[in-house]
Amino acid sequence: MSDPEIEELRDKVHCAVVLERTLPPWKLDRKESTKLSLKYRRGKGEILIVSHGGKGWWDPTSDAKGDVFGLVQRLEPAVNFGHVRKRLREFAGLSPSFPIVERAGQRKTSERPVAERWADRKAVWPYLNSKRGPAPVRH
């Protein structure tokens, strides 16, 4: 016989919410994520993948994987199962905010529409003509 609260917490708590609210917080690596697998990073070399619509997770650097209960126990090994349940109750029904990890050298995306940025670009033809000269005429 299964405990209804355990099943309810498995259903209502997204693994990404647990990662985002564990200190220091994990951040989404949007560039490395897909629709089905969300890659979260924290610190140097700490990576966890959230899968199965937020119901599961796995560690690409080991064989570790599991559900939201296993995730809390992985992040806080000293916490017993009763405390895990208590902690997960706080997260039931919350949605992940998907904070994005900042990478060194990462380009910032502009808030301006593409058409506006394109219209404001510098013309390259004057530069090319001054450096290379006019294009040869072909007959």
Taking the CA atoms of residue 84, residue 86, residue 87 and residue 91 in that order, the dihedral angle to the nearest 10 degrees is 120
**Which tens digit of pLDDT belongs to each residue from 79-120?**
999 999 999 999 999 999 988 877 655 566 667 787 888 788
Rounded to an integer, what distance in angstroms lies between the CA atom of residue 96 and that of residue 54? 9
What is 112-129 written as a DSSP string? S-HHHHHHTSPPSHHHHH
- Assigned CATH topology for domain 4-104: DNA Primase; Chain A (3.90.580)
What pTM did the predictor assign? 0.70
Spatial CA neighbour of 26 closest among 62, 50, 54, 56? 50
| Total Cβ atoms within 10 A of residue 129 | 11
**Which tens digit of pLDDT belongs to each residue from 25-64?**
999 999 999 989 999 999 888 999 999 999 999 999 999 9
